[in-house]
Amino acid sequence: MARPKLGPEADRWKTVITELGHFALILALMLAATQMLIPAWGAHRAEARLMAIAAPAAITQFLLIGVAFAALTHAYVTSDFSVENVWANSHSAKPLIYKISGVWGNHEGSMLLWVLILALFGAAVGLYGDNLPPSFRARVLSVQAALSVAFLLFILFTSNPFTRLSPAPAEGQGLNPILQDPALAFHPPFLYVGYVGFSMAFSFAVAALWEGRIDAAWARWVRPWTLVAWIALTIGIAMGSWWAYYTLGWGGWWFWDPVENASFMPWLAGTALLHSAVVMEKREALKIWTILLAILTFSLSLMGTFLVRSGILTSVHSFAVDPKRGVVILFILAVFIGGALVLYAWRATTLKAGGLFQPISREGALVVNNVLLTTATATVLIGTLYPLGLEAVTGAKISVGAPYFDRTFVPLMVPLLIALPFGSLLAWKRGDLNAAFQRLGAAAIGALVIAAFAFAAVRRGPWLAPLALVLGGWVLCGALLEWANRIKAFGAPLSDTLRRARSLPRAAHGMTLAHAGVGIMVIGITGATAWNTEAVKAIAPGETLSIAGYDLTFRGAAPRRGPNYQETIGRFEITRGGAAVTVLEPAKRIFTAPRQATTQAAIYNALAGDLYVVLGDGLADGAYVVRAYFHPLVRLIWLGALIMGLGGLFSLSDRRLRVGAGRRVARATPPLPQAAE
Amino acid sequence: MRFATRSLGRAVVLSAAVVSLIATSYAVEPDERLADAALEARARTISAELRCLVCQNQSIDDSNAPLARDLRVLVRERLSAGSSDTDVMRYIVERYGEFVLLRPRFGLHTLLLWLGPMALLAGVVSMLVRRSRSQRSAAASDLERPLTEDEQRRLDQILAADKSAR
């Protein structure tokens, strides 16, 4: 590595800080190696002093990687172009927030963020994991450190963000303009907290198999961590979808792009894991399956990292174009997934199956949930990998896109959504389906009312749309009804209801919210898919375009200058039935570094949906191609996701599930029933 | 400067890739549209199933890359000439290969793709049914089997304690 020429005092300090960051990263690797080996040895020999190293090591490892991350951020903020990574991805004229988000807007920096979050979770176990038995905690942190070692080696040897350039270039290349957007800039940290967070489920599963003790307490320990990861992933995916919606210029919000699938698969598996962990915690059933699911969920996260980071899928997210990296990640993948599965195959046979239950019961419903979610995950996995596999084996090139997933994934969601309200009403062990049917009558009526109302308002579109709405309404009403039942909202005096609502565990409120969010999202997806309209027309200033009852009058376009771009802004007066509604100003931007064009759609959020206007190409005599779309109910998609995340937060704040709660209770053999007097 | 040239090359490749992505911002131009609304609707449905060959995972309906435009125009020409939807699809696949289809055809080469998920579901469900049956019969036989020595001893102890208490 060439040493940069030392300039004035300020440059020397920049260099010192960057090199300190690099050094901290190397130290973190050494420390992670120690944390991987010594506590594990300690757990094996039952030596408390050796095991005690794990927690402080995990915390220090996080601090060291934090120093490295801060040093790289400093290089970005001060535009130190002697750092190759900064030069390739930043520009001195970029707004500050995009200088910061530029840190993870590229391959090397995003991998550094990946290990930072991995170490953050390890440190959290170090700080708050006092409720875990010492040997178990030592093993969890050892597994977590093994992951750190693998990825720190990967970063230092194939993707070092601290590589220097000499002489330092005067100006950087700039950040890809489509990444210069608030929602996109901050969705990677959420996504990473999500799928790196599932490493906790993995480490807990491997540690439990290693120790050979797996019981209800395990499910209680792992649940808060899985929930944190799940909440972050839910929000991260929703942010990415929201970004695509307003950036890509026609209002698409999900594309079944391999990169989206890479984050969606761990989400689906993680959702299944949250549900099966409940069964394990409450009834000690599904133990063997839950452990496997914990391993698989993080394996899918690792595979997502591989797909995105190796450049094997050439898509907008693939910033890495270096096959060497792909091979290294593939190796890491094989070692961890393969190792965990071998350990599982070896130990799982020794596990005893837990509590018995009838098919019609809460457990049975959660098994249905797991079967369908797992099959759905497998469908996404097959659809994503199949073209790669087929090309590798036969050389034939095929495409698997949205039309495939519409026909395979969506049908799996239908029975899941139908079963959902039943599941939360059935009792443990042995449920009464008839009673559930009777109690859900109101939900069915509610769903039909919602669908009839929507259909009367639109009176067109595919015949499936009202059915899909019934489904969404069914889930939403079912969730609310179950909640109302539990707090006796009907029939009991108000004070009694309020008292019940207060004493209901937060996890129960969380479940209601999350399920209601699912219903709301289904309604949004249906509206946006089935009743979406569009109008495209070349119009000159003064002319009008009509869509969904709105009239858009074009008032001309004018140039404007931004901090690092030039834009053309069109002005549209929106009226509805002659009454002024708003003014929309969609724009086309040309960025200066790198020189690229983006479209800025203008969106008016009406109650029934979004009016979405895009300025197209300019024609002769001041006319422009204008595209207008009306996306009915589309915001419910992200609102639904937000409510699901909120439900997760409620559940997380439940006292019984909080990190550190639920100290291990010695499990005595159940006493035989006392003989009757 | 070795790093610099390598990165420069990478940056050029990337920006080319990104430009093709940006080009996806909007699709069907006003002059492409067919006057006949029914025909235009059919064209849109077909377009959603065809891949823009130079973009990443975008249908020609969503892309304004020149090649996507050519394909859209071609689809509309064939439809206007009176071809059926299947004829148009077949014609396009003959010219551009199966890669152009976003929903691959069912065949030997896509057997696993189309049947894999269903086979998995069927497998898991049958396994669950079998396990639940064997568990239930195991539980039933567990009720009928005689007590083990250990259990008998505990039972005797409890009964003895009960008797002495009385």
Which residues 6+ apart lie within 8 Å of A233 measured at CB? A190, A191, A193, A194, A195, A197, A263, A266, A267, A270
Contact between chains at A84 and B135 (C-beta distance less than 8 A): no
Answer yes or no: is pLDDT of B16 > 50: no
- Quote the CA–CA distance of A554 and A362 in Å, as a whole number: 58
Q: Predicted ipTM?
A: 0.80
Question: Once rounded to an integer, what is the mean pLDDT over residues A247-272?
Answer: 89
Q: How many whole angstroms separate alpha carbon A455 and alpha carbon A466?
A: 7
Our CA-based measurement puts residue A35 at a distance from the nearest CA of chain B, in whole angstroms, of: 34
Token representation of residue A610: 């979004």
CA distance A471 to chain B (A): 22
- Residues of chain A with pLDDT > 90: what percent? 50
Is A420:A515 a contact under the CB 8 Å cutoff? yes
Reported as a single tens digit per residue, the pLDDT across A529-568 is 888 888 888 899 999 999 989 999 999 999 998 887 889 9
* pLDDT band per the 50, 70, 90 thresholds, residue A322: low
For residue A266, give every residue at least 6 positions away whose Cβ sits within 8 Å of its Cβ, in sequence order, or none. Answer: A194, A195, A198, A233, A297, A298, A300, A301, A304
Instruction: State residue A332's pLDDT score.
Output: 92
Q: Enter the tokens of residue A530.
A: 């089935």
Count of pairs with CB atoms under 8 A, one residue in A, one in B: 156
Cβ distance A224 to A657 under 8 Å?
yes
Contact status, residue A232 vs residue A279, Cβ threshold 8 Å: no
Distance from CA of B32 to the nearest CA of A (A): 11
pLDDT single digits (tens) A167-195 = 888 888 877 777 778 877 888 899 999 98
Overall average pLDDT of the A287-315 stretch: 85
Confidence of residue B35 (pLDDT cuts 50, 70, 90): confident
* pLDDT for position A148: 97
DSSP string, B63-96: ---HHHHHHHHHHHHHHHTT--HHHHHHHHHHHH
Phi and psi, residue A305, nearest 5° = -60, -40
Which among A503, A478, A485 is positioned nearest to A419, based on CA atoms? A478
Concatenated DSSP letters of A135-177: HHHHHHHHHHHHHHHHHHHHHHHH--TT-B-SSPPSS-----G
pLDDT at A449 (0 to 100):
87
What residues of chain A, 151 to 180, have a C-beta less than 8 Å from chain B? 163, 165, 169, 173, 176, 178
pLDDT at site A658: 58
Considering chain B, what percentage of its residues have pLDDT values greater than 90?
Answer: 17
Q: Tell which residue, B17, B71, B114, has the closest CA to residue A317.
A: B17
Q: Which residues of chain B neighbour A543 with C-beta distances below 8 Å? A: none
Residue pair A581/A604 in contact (Cβ under 8 Å)? The answer is yes
Q: What is the pLDDT of residue A516?
A: 95
User: Is A505 at the interface with chain B, CB within 8 A?
Assistant: no
> What's the pLDDT score for residue A675?
38
CA A370 – CA A285 distance, rounded (Å): 13
Q: What is the pLDDT of residue B19?
A: 36
How far is the C-alpha of A624 from the C-alpha of A556, rounded, in Å?
9
How many whole angstroms separate alpha carbon A286 and alpha carbon B106?
A: 36
Cα(A80)–Cα(A72) distance, integer angstroms: 10
Specify the higher pLDDT residue, B5 or A81: A81
* CA gap A649, B132 in Å, rounded: 35
**For chain B, how big is the Rg over CA atoms in Å?**
33
Q: Is B106 helix (H, G, I), strand (E, B) or coil?
A: coil
pLDDT at residue A631 in the model = 93
What is the pTM for the complete model shown? 0.88
pLDDT of residue A354: 67
Euclidean distance between the first and the last CA atom of chain A, given in angstroms as a whole number: 86
Instruction: Please choose, from the candidates B13, B75, B69, B18, the residue with its C-alpha nearest in 3D space to the C-alpha of residue B41.
Output: B75
**Does position A292 have pLDDT exceeding 80, yes or no?**
yes
The Cα of A426 is separated from the nearest Cα of chain B by a number of Å equal to: 18
Give residue A214's pLDDT. Answer: 86
Model confidence band, residue B11 (pLDDT cutoffs 50, 70, 90): very low
Inter-chain residue contact B26 with A616, CB threshold 8 Å? yes
Query: Does pLDDT of A133 surpass 80?
Result: yes
Length in residues, chain A: 677
User: Is A490 an 8 Å CB contact of chain B?
Assistant: no
pLDDT, mean of residues B52-69: 81
Residues 51-90 on B with a CB inside 8 Å of A are 51, 56-59, 62
Residue with more model confidence, B90 or A393: B90
A467-505: pLDDT as tens digits:
888 999 999 999 998 888 888 777 777 888 888 888 888
Q: How confident is the model at residue B166 (pLDDT cuts 50, 70, 90)?
A: low
What is the C-alpha separation between B10 and A478, in angstroms, rounded? 53
Lowest mean pLDDT: which of A457-461, A529-533, B40-44? A457-461
